[in-house]
């Protein structure tokens, strides 16, 4: 039960701004690291080019990025009537583990969105697929529907072909809807970070799209170390805030995975941690509250770890960041685990107290979005000044747009 009195009352109308369509980058720049970089530090705004990012990072920083990889989550089926049905795979249900589900053979169940549902009232959809010269038939059946999402069972007639291979062969990359175009071959490269490797996202952690091997190599010159974690970005990241007050907005749940060794490195670098992207911010800040849960013996009996949307606002705690993270290490050690697996529904909005990060790289976000609220939580009302500067100085917006580095002393 949420204690409403502890949740800041935020009106989404206060986080609106005019974003002309021509300012939305429909395609990336030819060279990733030539994007513009807005610099914000304690109220001062300036700009540079992203390939110089290392010059603006505090020495001895620990940079933490999200290594998730976008899957080809859109499957198009055609009925005998000629109607096209689009199935957008959101998250695995059976098996519920991403790696296990993607490596499944014969069948798996996913939570999906369905386009042109009215043309698929009942029955099985079929699709003939050729993978490395092997012909298979992929079937899709709706098991149950809840609201606008549907549990869909996929079945195929070959024990040697995984669901990941099927998606890679015939699935389409789910580029953001606000690009107003179909995915192109080039997006298969440009809509992935150079360090992506763990399949599962249906949207890219776009702050990382600016990094190149050259930029990553330059970090060594200032003794800046790198750690990685995994948060599989869900389609909810594009979900508009429809309620007037954020209290009435339901955040989506996302799956995270963080290695024990990464958490140990975080403990050793408290005060120096820079997140690459809002997905890394949400993961890192969720770790603090996971640690608090462990300390308070508040984990559920089923062993699943979940951070609720309003958890940070429903409790007051003076537990330090290093103590909270150390509690996770103890928990993993007791359970002989090398990786923490959890779910987070955390919303970071004005009034949130940051526990882990000192700064972040992030792109420029949509008006009236929870991502803009996160930026405001970090910069205060200066978010308006930041966005006015970006709009006045030819910065490109959203997923394929330019970057910013937000820092606090």
Report pLDDT digits (tens) over 243-288.
Answer: 999 999 999 889 999 999 999 999 999 999 999 999 999 999 999 9
**Neighbour tally for 206: CB within 10 Å:** 24
Does residue 68 contact residue 230 with C-beta atoms inside 8 Å? yes
| Nearest by Cα to 101 from 112, 111, 113, 109 | 109
Rounded average pLDDT over 161-188: 94
- Give the Cα separation of 35 and 315 in Å (integer): 40
pLDDT of residue 2: 52
What would the two tokens of residue 165 be?
């291979």
Within 8 A by CB and 6+ apart from 125, the residues are 77, 79, 85, 87, 139, 140, 141
Q: Give the mean pLDDT of 29-33.
A: 97
As a whole number of angstroms, the distance between CA 317 and CA 320 comes to: 9
| Residue 297 burial (CB count, 10 A) | 6
Distance separating alpha carbons of residues 215 and 52, to the nearest angstrom: 8
- Angle (CA) 291 208 392, round 5°: 115
Do 205 and 233 contact (CB within 8 A), yes or no? yes
The mean pLDDT value for 365-383 works out to: 96
Q: Give the SS3 label for residue 15.
A: helix
* CA atoms within 13 A of residue 347's CA, in its CB half-sphere: 23
* Three-state secondary structure readout of 179-241: HCCCCCCCHHHHCCCCCCCEEEECCCCHHHHHCCHHHHHHHHHHCCEEEEEEEECCHHHHCCC
Mean pLDDT of the chain: 94
List, in order, residues 6 or more apart from 119 with CB less than 8 Å away: 79, 81, 83, 85
pLDDT above 80 (res 121): no
**pLDDT exceeds 60 at position 3:** no
Under CATH, which number does the domain 4-70+188-407 receive? 3.40.1780.10
> Please, which pLDDT band fits residue 1 given cuts at 50, 70 and 90?
very low
Query: What would the mean pLDDT of 349-369 be, rounded to a whole number?
Result: 96
The residues, any chain, with a CB within 8 Å of residue 394's CB and separated by 6 or more, are 36
Global pTM value: 0.93
Q: Contact 286/308 with Cβ under 8 angstroms?
A: no
Closest CA to 110 of 154, 146, 74, 71: 154
CA–CA distance, 246 with 309 (Å, rounded to integer): 11
Distance, in Å, from the CA atom of 306 to the CA atom of 301, rounded to the nearest integer, reads 12
| Per-residue model confidence as pLDDT tens digits over 177-199 | 899 999 999 999 999 999 999 99
Peptide bond into 409 cis (omega under 30): no
């Amino acid at each position: 039960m949420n204690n409403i009195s502890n949740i800041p009352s935020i009106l989404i109308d206060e986080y609106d701004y005019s974003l002309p369509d021509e300012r939305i980058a429909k395609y990336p720049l030819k060279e990733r690291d030539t994007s513009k970089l807005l610099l914000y530090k304690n109220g001062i705004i300036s700009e540079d080019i992203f390939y110089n990012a290392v010059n603006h990072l505090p020495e001895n920083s620990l940079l933490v990025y999200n290594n998730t990889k976008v899957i080809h989550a859109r499957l198009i089926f055609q009925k005998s009537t000629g109607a096209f049905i689009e199935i957008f795979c959101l998250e695995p249900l059976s098996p519920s583990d991403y790696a296990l589900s993607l490596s499944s053979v014969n069948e798996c169940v996913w939570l999906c969105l369905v386009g042109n549902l009215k043309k698929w009232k009942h029955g099985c959809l079929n699709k003939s697929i050729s993978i490395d010269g092997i012909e298979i038939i992929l079937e899709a059946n709706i098991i149950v529907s809840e609201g606008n999402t549907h549990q869909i069972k996929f079945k195929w007639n070959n024990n040697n072909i995984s669901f990941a291979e099927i998606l890679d062969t015939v699935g389409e990359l789910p580029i953001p809807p606000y690009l107003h175009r179909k995915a192109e071959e080039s997006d298969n490269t440009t809509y992935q970070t150079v360090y992506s490797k763990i399949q599962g996202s249906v949207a890219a952690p776009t702050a990382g799209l600016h990094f190149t091997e050259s930029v990553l190599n330059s970090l060594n010159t200032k003794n800046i170390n790198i750690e990685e974690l995994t948060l599989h970005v869900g389609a909810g990241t594009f979900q508009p805030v429809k309620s007037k007050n954020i209290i009435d907005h339901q955040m989506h749940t996302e799956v995270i995975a963080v290695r024990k060794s990464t958490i140990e490195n975080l403990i050793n670098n408290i005060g120096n941690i820079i997140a690459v992207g809002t997905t890394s911010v949400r993961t890192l800040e969720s770790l603090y509250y996971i640690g608090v849960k462990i300390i308070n013996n508040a984990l559920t009996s089923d062993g699943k770890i979940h951070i609720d949307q309003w958890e940070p606002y429903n409790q007051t705690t003076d537990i330090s960041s290093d103590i909270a993270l150390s509690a996770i290490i103890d928990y993993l050690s007791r359970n002989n685990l090398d990786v923490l697996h959890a779910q987070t529904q955390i919303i970071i909005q004005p009034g949130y107290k940051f526990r882990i990060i000192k700064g972040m790289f992030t792109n420029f976000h949509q008006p009236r979005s929870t991502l803009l609220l996160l930026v405001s939580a970090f910069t205060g009302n200066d978010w308006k000044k930041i966005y006015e500067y970006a709009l006045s100085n030819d910065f490109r917006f959203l997923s394929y747009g330019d970057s910013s580095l937000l820092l606090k002393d």
